[in-house]
A and B are shown apart, each in its own frame.
Chain A
Amino acid sequence: MALPATRPTGAVPAGAVLSSDQLLEIYYYLRLTRTLEERVALYRQTKVIGGLFRSLGQEGESVASAYALERGRHKDVLSPLIRNLGSLLVMGARPVEILRQYMAKADSPTRGRELNVHFNDLEKGYLGQISHLGDMIPVMAGIALSFKLRREPRVGLVYIGDGGTSTGTFHEGLNLAAVQRLPLVVIGEYNHWAYSTPPEKQFAVKDLAEKAKGYGVPAVTVDGNDVFAVYEATRFAVERARRGKGAHFIEVKTYRRKGHAEHDDQHYVAKADLERWAKEDDPIDRYVQRLLTADLVGEADLKDIDDRVRVEVDQATDACVDEPLPPAESALPGVYVDPPAAEKLWFKVL
């Protein structure tokens, strides 16, 4: 799909504000996301017990949108979806944490309780999703509300898929953010597939941006596989929100190149479409091409990053792959602060 280059009014072109170090850092996160997912896939149905959800083809928008935030302790906060591994990595999640989550290790961030990218670090600035789509929109509106009430110059960012915009919670949350003028940026990921359901069965509007406009939220549609376009649009929206101008919606058009999860063979997707998106519209390929064509970085720099990523992913794997699963009774504590643990049931002590 050829998309018109859409640049929000007032945005500064990304090439003008990103240093070559930053451009390389973005490349590092793009490469890390893809390599790490490929690594997780190697362990599917052995060490990785639950489902595996790939973001292949969507790494660009994940990384670029998160990169537009202020990162660090007690800065901006985002809430990723299942295909936003890149966003999590940008915010400071470590590859070993991702591997441990997928493998349900005792030392995983949720100590084996939750799956894949469902975990938090509010100090670093990310709040894990639950499986119920849309729920994170009102929750992130609440996080943005806390920034507003405390007069902190912080911004919340939350992702929603094209399918997720059909939920009631998405609409309620967005409307609340609009009327309260909350510092919330919503990234609407139009990746063409909600499990097996295509957009035309999901909504009757052409663009997700139209939904946001219905709530009085400014909305733009950008090419989601153009790292620069996503970065520019997000940066504009984030800074606007930080200045107290309220919520903003950014629709990123992209494409889910794998099945809903790895068990899904995508038989409902035309092979030609997959091939075209892979060949002509891969976000990493496009980014690299742009960097090299404009002579913004050197080819050797990129190669160095590829090598570094491979080493880091190897090290992360070695560090955790043989770690134990959590001990059985560690299932009991933590439902409440007090009492400290759920009761061990009578038949377990016979």
Chain B
Amino acid sequence: MAEVTFLEALRQGLWEEMERDERVFILGEDVGSYGGAFKVTDGFSKRFGESRVIDTPISEAAIVGAAAGAAHMGLRPVAEMQFIDFISCAYDMLTNYVATARYRAGLSTPMVVRGPCGGYVRGGPFHSQNPEAAFLHTPGLKIVYPATARDAKGLIKASIRDEDPVLYLEHKWLYRRIKEQLPEGEEILTPIGQARIAREGKHLSIISYGATLWKSLEAAEQLEKADGVSVEVLDLRTLLPMDDAAIIATVKKTNKVLIVHEDTRTGGIAGEIAARINEQAFEWLDGPIMRVTAHDVPLPYAPTLEDFVLPQTDDIVKAARWLAAY
């Protein structure tokens, strides 16, 4: 076993897939000798050469479009968005071209688009975004969003091996904060489409993913100690396709659900989860399905503003306490 950070685990996963399969290659801005803005691909260019670790112009649409073309021809591109905020520049390519390719034309497009997302880092409105909801509404894409180092590794490997295009979201607040013992020499693969119970509990369920998974776990801990409330925490890990079975199982177990995500509220993923619970487990509910999310504003820069806008551990504690007493 060796202790690795979230970022190192992701690196290892990418590295192992590059070693395993020569069809895998990386393209993006400053990913080569610089090793990426966050150093995820540090050392890759030296090991695998410039032809498999390609520094591109600042052209997200071209990066994603070229990845699609190469994927059609049997290669396995991993496209990096320097910050996921810039994926909007490739929105047309992803939604119109990539996501529809299999359905409309029978084209296989096995590719990964990955990049750092999320706030809590004083990045302001253009270096903190959570773009998942826009793509959840795009049939044809898969979306994974690991919260642990193990899943960072397991999901990048699974994404690269998947036959369909996968959007892999990595929260930059987790990059160096999350450390975990991972076995050496054992292949870690996290299946796409499977959620995970991050903490067992019986009174109430919190459904979350990404950075707020950790805040939810912290809140669960506090509630256990202070209130004796036993909180189950479900880590979605994959957002599309959504693991209905795991969601419904936890609802049936605790009968109360709080959904926590960092993205803004309106049109956020919590709405979709709530609808599925309504459809599939309405009679199992002992309280309203509640949401803790960001406020519906662009993410501001000042610490005072960002802390207020984004969901904090204390918000989750208060919300869960309210729901537990319902």
Contact A112/B85 with A50-B122, A50-B124 known, Cβ cut-off 8 Å:
no
Complex interface bits, B301-316 against A, C-beta within 8 A gives 1, otherwise 0: 1111101110000011
Q: Kindly state the separation between the CA atoms of A110 and B59 in the bound complex, as whole angstroms.
A: 29
Q: Tell whether, in the assembled complex, residue B305 and residue A112 are in contact, meaning their CB atoms are under 8 Å apart.
A: yes
Interface: A311 (CB within 8 A): no
Q: Tell whether, in the assembled complex, residue A342 and residue B297 are in contact, meaning their CB atoms are under 8 Å apart.
A: yes
Q: Tell whether, in the assembled complex, residue B59 and residue A168 are in contact, meaning their CB atoms are under 8 Å apart.
A: yes
Interface: B37 (CB within 8 A): yes
Contact of A326 among B55, B125, B304 (CB under 8 A): B304
Q: Kindly state the separation between the CA atoms of A334 and B125 in the bound complex, as whole angstroms.
A: 14
Complex interface bits, A325-337 against B, C-beta within 8 A gives 1, otherwise 0: 1111111101100
Interface: B29 (CB within 8 A): yes
Q: Tell whether, in the assembled complex, residue B304 and residue A327 are in contact, meaning their CB atoms are under 8 Å apart.
A: yes
Residues of A within 8 A of B309 (CB): 331
Contact A345/B122 with A168-B59, A326-B304 known, Cβ cut-off 8 Å:
no
Whole-angstrom distance between the Cβ of A261 and the nearest chain B Cβ: 10
Q: Tell whether, in the assembled complex, residue B59 and residue A167 are in contact, meaning their CB atoms are under 8 Å apart.
A: yes
Contact of A331 among B34, B57, B62, B308 (CB under 8 A): B308
Contact A197/B315 with A326-B302, A331-B308 known, Cβ cut-off 8 Å:
no
Interface: A194 (CB within 8 A): yes
Interface residues of B in 56-77 (CB under 8 A from A): 56-59, 61-62
Contact of B34 among A49, A268, A342 (CB under 8 A): A268
Q: Tell whether, in the assembled complex, residue A350 and residue B126 are in contact, meaning their CB atoms are under 8 Å apart.
A: no
Complex interface bits, A251-294 against B, C-beta within 8 A gives 1, otherwise 0: 00000000000000000100000000000000000000000000
Q: Kindly state the separation between the CA atoms of A334 and B318 in the bound complex, as whole angstroms.
A: 27
Q: Kindly state the separation between the CA atoms of A135 and B301 in the bound complex, as whole angstroms.
A: 21
The interface-forming segment of A1-9, A16-24, A125-133, A239-247 is: A125-133
Whole-angstrom distance between the Cβ of B7 and the nearest chain A Cβ: 16
Interface: A163 (CB within 8 A): yes
Interface: B51 (CB within 8 A): no
Contact of B125 among A105, A114, A194, A325 (CB under 8 A): A114
Residues of A within 8 A of B85 (CB): 131-132
Residues of B within 8 A of A347 (CB): 292, 315-316, 318-319, 322
Considering only CB atoms, which chain A residue lies closest to B122 in the complex? Answer: A49
Interface: A315 (CB within 8 A): no
Residues of A within 8 A of B293 (CB): 345
Considering only CB atoms, which chain B residue lies closest to A101 in the complex? Answer: B301
Interface residues of B in 74-91 (CB under 8 A from A): 82-83, 85-86, 88-89
Residues of A within 8 A of B100 (CB): none
Q: Tell whether, in the assembled complex, residue B29 and residue A197 are in contact, meaning their CB atoms are under 8 Å apart.
A: yes
Residues of A within 8 A of B267 (CB): none
Interface: A188 (CB within 8 A): no
Contact A195/B34 with A49-B303, A50-B123 known, Cβ cut-off 8 Å:
yes
Q: Kindly state the separation between the CA atoms of A130 and B86 in the bound complex, as whole angstroms.
A: 11
Contact A202/B265 with A104-B301, A104-B302 known, Cβ cut-off 8 Å:
no
Interface: B203 (CB within 8 A): no
Interface: B228 (CB within 8 A): no
Complex interface bits, A111-126 against B, C-beta within 8 A gives 1, otherwise 0: 1111100100000000
Q: Kindly state the separation between the CA atoms of A132 and B83 in the bound complex, as whole angstroms.
A: 10
Interface: A180 (CB within 8 A): no
Interface: A164 (CB within 8 A): yes
Residues of B within 8 A of A348 (CB): 308, 315
Contact of B305 among A113, A164, A167 (CB under 8 A): A113
Q: Tell whether, in the assembled complex, residue B88 and residue A112 are in contact, meaning their CB atoms are under 8 Å apart.
A: no
Whole-angstrom distance between the Cβ of B131 and the nearest chain A Cβ: 13
Q: Tell whether, in the assembled complex, residue A132 and residue B296 are in contact, meaning their CB atoms are under 8 Å apart.
A: no
Interface: B300 (CB within 8 A): yes
Residues of A within 8 A of B89 (CB): 132, 167-169
Complex interface bits, A89-118 against B, C-beta within 8 A gives 1, otherwise 0: 000000000000000111000111111001
Interface residues of A in 112-166 (CB under 8 A from B): 112-115, 118, 130-134, 163-164, 166
Q: Tell whether, in the assembled complex, residue B301 and residue A133 are in contact, meaning their CB atoms are under 8 Å apart.
A: no
Whole-angstrom distance between the Cβ of B257 and the nearest chain A Cβ: 14
Interface: B183 (CB within 8 A): no
Q: Kindly state the separation between the CA atoms of A105 and B122 in the bound complex, as whole angstroms.
A: 13
Q: Tell whether, in the assembled complex, residue A163 and residue B58 are in contact, meaning their CB atoms are under 8 Å apart.
A: yes
Residues of B within 8 A of A201 (CB): 55-57
Contact of A335 among B296, B304, B322 (CB under 8 A): B296
Q: Kindly state the separation between the CA atoms of A111 and B316 in the bound complex, as whole angstroms.
A: 27
Q: Tell whether, in the assembled complex, residue B33 and residue A113 are in contact, meaning their CB atoms are under 8 Å apart.
A: no
Considering only CB atoms, which chain B residue lies closest to A161 in the complex? Answer: B58
Complex interface bits, A194-207 against B, C-beta within 8 A gives 1, otherwise 0: 11110001110000
Interface residues of A in 293-350 (CB under 8 A from B): 325-332, 334-335, 342-348, 350
Contact A331/B300 with A50-B122, A130-B126, A196-B34 known, Cβ cut-off 8 Å:
yes
Whole-angstrom distance between the Cβ of B265 and the nearest chain A Cβ: 7
Contact A202/B57 with A113-B298, A195-B30, A350-B319 known, Cβ cut-off 8 Å:
yes
18 contacts between A and B (CB under 8 A): A49-B301, A50-B122, A50-B124, A50-B301, A104-B122, A104-B302, A106-B302, A112-B302, A112-B304, A115-B301, A131-B86, A133-B58, A166-B57, A194-B29, A196-B33, A328-B307, A347-B292, A347-B322
Besides the known contacts A131-B126, A201-B55, A350-B318, 8 further A-B residue pairs in the complex with CB atoms under 8 A apart = A50-B123, A113-B124, A132-B86, A167-B89, A195-B82, A325-B303, A331-B308, A345-B293
Query: 8 nearest interchain CB pairs?
Result: A112-B302, A166-B57, A131-B126, A328-B308, A196-B34, A104-B302, A347-B319, A331-B305
